[in-house]
């Protein structure tokens, strides 16, 4: 089976531009997570969905960030307008509901550079 798919793998954009990151979770998984990784702050959970519904968006840094999951096989993370401090690697992960042991499966990440 294919793993979590993210696109693009690399994105370079100028400050003020809109950026859209995409994720396709593993088929059959009902949870989807967006993370951001930087040297300074480590790995941060931004938002997660269950059955396409946002459950916890408390990690979204500010209103410039938004995430959607229109169906079970696709999610987007949008930054508008982008700023240099948004430069990071953004990971998408998915998991299947379990009563115990909720291991997540990560995509390869999108490296975003905002100049």
Nearest distance from residue 88's CB to another protein, in Å?
14
Nearest CA among 63, 62, 58, 67 for reference residue 21: 67
- Rounded distance, CA 10 to CA 79, Å? 15
Q: Which of 34, 91, 112, 114 binds another protein (CB under 8 A)?
A: 91
Q: Does 90 bind another protein (CB under 8 A)?
A: no
Nearest distance from residue 104's CB to another protein, in Å?
6
Structure letter (DSSP) for residue 62 = S
Q: What is each CA distance from 73 to 34, 78, 95, 112, in whole angstroms?
A: 14, 17, 13, 22
- Tokens 């500010």, residue? 62
Only one of the segments 20-28, 40-48, 62-70, 75-83 lies at the binding site for another protein (rule: CB under 8 A); that segment is 40-48
Q: Does 108 bind another protein (CB under 8 A)?
A: yes
Q: Which residues bind another protein (CB under 8 A)?
A: 4, 31, 33, 42-43, 45, 48, 50, 56, 91, 93, 95, 97, 99-109
């Amino acid at each position: 089976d294919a793993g979590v798919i993210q696109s693009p793998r690399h994105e370079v954009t100028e400050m003020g531009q809109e950026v859209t990151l995409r994720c396709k979770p593993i088929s059959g998984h009902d949870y989807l997570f967006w993370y951001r990784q930087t040297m300074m702050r480590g790995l941060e959970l931004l938002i997660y969905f269950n059955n396409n519904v946002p459950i916890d968006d408390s990690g979204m840094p500010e209103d410039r960030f938004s995430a959607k999951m229109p169906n079970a096989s696709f999610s987007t993370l949008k930054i508008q307008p982008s700023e240099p401090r948004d430069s990071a690697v953004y990971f998408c992960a998915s998991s299947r509901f379990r009563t115990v042991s909720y291991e997540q499966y990560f995509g390869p990440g999108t490296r975003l550079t905002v100049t």
